[in-house]
A and B are shown apart, each in its own frame.
Chain A
Amino acid sequence: MPNNSGKVYGLTILSPILNDDEASPSHDLQIRSYLAGLSTGRESPFAQAPGTHLARLVVMDDVIFVGAPAVEEHLNSKYLIFESNCDPGPDGTIDSYLQGLAEYAGAHLDAIWSHCVGYPGASDRAAFVRYMKACQLETTFFFAAVNDKSVPETLRALQTQKAVADFVETHQGMQPGQLRAEFLQLVATLDAAPMPAVASATVSREMKIGGRNE
Chain B
Amino acid sequence: MSKLNETDIQGFVLRGYNLPYGRYILLRFENPDRARALVSKLLPIITTGQRWDNGKPQSTVNIGFTHRGLAALALPDATLLSFPVEFQQGMKKRADILGDTGLNAPARWDDVWHGNDVHAWLGINGLTATALDDCCSQLRSLFAETRGAVELAAQDAVSNMVDGQQTGKEHFGYTDGFGNPDYLGIERNSQPGHGKQLPDGSWAPLATGELLLGYADEAGELPAAPIPHILASNGTFMVYRKLHQNLATFRSFLDEQSAVYGGGREKLAAKLIGRWRDGTPLELAPDAPDPSIVKDPQRSTNFTYGADGAGTRCPIGAHMRRAHPRDAFGFNGKLIDRRRITRRGQTYGRFVPEGELASDAEERGVVFMVLNANISRQFEFVQQQWIEYGNDAKQGNDKDPLMGNHGGHGKFVVQGDRSATNPPLVCAHLPSFVELRGGDYFFIPSMTALGMIAMKLVDPR
Are A and B co-members of a single complex?
yes
Known A-B contacts A165-B426, A173-B260; the reply to A214 vs B374 at CB < 8 A is: yes
Task: Indicate if the CB atoms of B426 and A168 lie closer than 8 Å.
Answer: yes
Q: In the complex, which of the residues B84, B94, B426 contacts A213, with contact meaning CB atoms closer than 8 Å?
A: B84
Task: Indicate if the CB atoms of A210 and B94 lie closer than 8 Å.
Answer: yes
B379 to chain A minimum Cβ distance, whole angstroms, is: 13
Q: In the complex, which of the residues B97, B260, B376, B380 contacts A208, with contact meaning CB atoms closer than 8 Å?
A: B97
B392 to chain A minimum Cβ distance, whole angstroms, is: 15
Q: Which residues of chain B are within 8 angstroms of A208 by Cβ–Cβ distance? A: 96-97
In residues 348-390 of chain B, which contact A (Cβ within 8 Å)? 374, 376-377, 380
Task: Indicate if the CB atoms of A172 and B85 lie closer than 8 Å.
Answer: no
Report the nearest A residue to B98, measured CB to CB: A210
Known A-B contacts A165-B426, A210-B97, A213-B376; the reply to A172 vs B260 at CB < 8 A is: yes
CA gap between A16 and B166 in the complex, in Å: 74
Task: Indicate if the CB atoms of A169 and B85 lie closer than 8 Å.
Answer: no
Q: Answer whether residue B428 sits at the interface, using C-beta atoms and an 8 A cutoff.
A: yes
Task: Indicate if the CB atoms of B260 and A211 lie closer than 8 Å.
Answer: no
Contact with A along B409-428 (1 / 0, CB 8 A): 00100000000000011111
Q: Answer whether residue B78 sits at the interface, using C-beta atoms and an 8 A cutoff.
A: no
Which of A165, A208, A213 counts the most B-chain CB atoms under 10 A from its CB?
A213
Task: Indicate if the CB atoms of A172 and B86 lie closer than 8 Å.
Answer: no
CA gap between A165 and B395 in the complex, in Å: 12
Task: Indicate if the CB atoms of A169 and B426 lie closer than 8 Å.
Answer: yes
Q: Which residues of chain A are within 8 angstroms of B376 by Cβ–Cβ distance? A: 210, 213-214
In residues 425-440 of chain B, which contact A (Cβ within 8 Å)? 425-428
CA gap between A173 and B262 in the complex, in Å: 10
Task: Indicate if the CB atoms of A214 and B377 lie closer than 8 Å.
Answer: yes
Report the nearest B residue to A169, measured CB to CB: B426
Known A-B contacts A172-B260, A173-B260; the reply to A213 vs B425 at CB < 8 A is: no
Task: Indicate if the CB atoms of B425 and A172 lie closer than 8 Å.
Answer: yes
A162 to chain B minimum Cβ distance, whole angstroms, is: 10
In residues 386-409 of chain B, which contact A (Cβ within 8 Å)? none
Report the nearest B residue to A162, measured CB to CB: B396
Task: Indicate if the CB atoms of A210 and B85 lie closer than 8 Å.
Answer: yes
Task: Indicate if the CB atoms of A169 and B260 lie closer than 8 Å.
Answer: no
Task: Indicate if the CB atoms of A213 and B224 lie closer than 8 Å.
Answer: yes
Q: In the complex, which of the residues B85, B377, B426, B428 contacts A211, with contact meaning CB atoms closer than 8 Å?
A: B85
In residues 79-135 of chain B, which contact A (Cβ within 8 Å)? 84-86, 89, 94, 96-97
B310 to chain A minimum Cβ distance, whole angstroms, is: 15
Contact with B along A141-175 (1 / 0, CB 8 A): 00000000000000000000000010011001100
CA gap between A213 and B84 in the complex, in Å: 6
Task: Indicate if the CB atoms of B224 and A172 lie closer than 8 Å.
Answer: no
CA gap between A172 and B416 in the complex, in Å: 13
Known A-B contacts A211-B85, A214-B374, A214-B376; the reply to A172 vs B97 at CB < 8 A is: no
B443 to chain A minimum Cβ distance, whole angstroms, is: 15
Report the nearest A residue to B262, measured CB to CB: A173
Task: Indicate if the CB atoms of B224 and A214 lie closer than 8 Å.
Answer: yes
CA gap between A208 and B97 in the complex, in Å: 8
Report the nearest A residue to B89, measured CB to CB: A210
In residues 12-36 of chain A, which contact B (Cβ within 8 Å)? none
Q: In the complex, which of the residues B94, B411, B426 contacts A172, with contact meaning CB atoms closer than 8 Å?
A: B426
In residues 4-56 of chain B, which contact A (Cβ within 8 Å)? none
Contact with A along B307-334 (1 / 0, CB 8 A): 0000000000000000000000000000
Report the nearest B residue to A214, measured CB to CB: B377
CA gap between A211 and B380 in the complex, in Å: 13
Task: Indicate if the CB atoms of B85 and A213 lie closer than 8 Å.
Answer: yes
Q: Which residues of chain B are within 8 angstroms of A168 by Cβ–Cβ distance? A: 424, 426
Known A-B contacts A169-B426, A172-B426; the reply to A210 vs B86 at CB < 8 A is: yes
Q: Which residues of chain B are within 8 angstroms of A213 by Cβ–Cβ distance? A: 84-86, 224, 376
Q: Which residues of chain A are within 8 angstroms of B424 by Cβ–Cβ distance? A: 168
Q: Which residues of chain B are within 8 angstroms of A173 by Cβ–Cβ distance? A: 260
Which of B94, B260, B426, B427 counts the most A-chain CB atoms under 10 A from its CB?
B426
A158 to chain B minimum Cβ distance, whole angstroms, is: 10
Known A-B contacts A168-B426, A172-B425, A173-B260; the reply to A211 vs B86 at CB < 8 A is: yes
Report the nearest A residue to B338, measured CB to CB: A214
Q: Which residues of chain A are within 8 angstroms of B377 by Cβ–Cβ distance? A: 214
Known: A213-B376, A214-B224, A214-B374. 11 other contacts (CB 8 A): A168-B424, A168-B426, A169-B411, A172-B260, A210-B89, A210-B94, A210-B376, A213-B85, A213-B86, A213-B224, A214-B376
* CB-defined A-B contacts under 8 Å, sample of 12: A165-B426, A169-B411, A169-B428, A208-B97, A210-B86, A210-B89, A210-B380, A211-B86, A213-B85, A213-B224, A214-B376, A214-B377
Closest 6 CB pairs of A and B: A211-B85, A169-B426, A213-B85, A213-B84, A169-B428, A214-B377
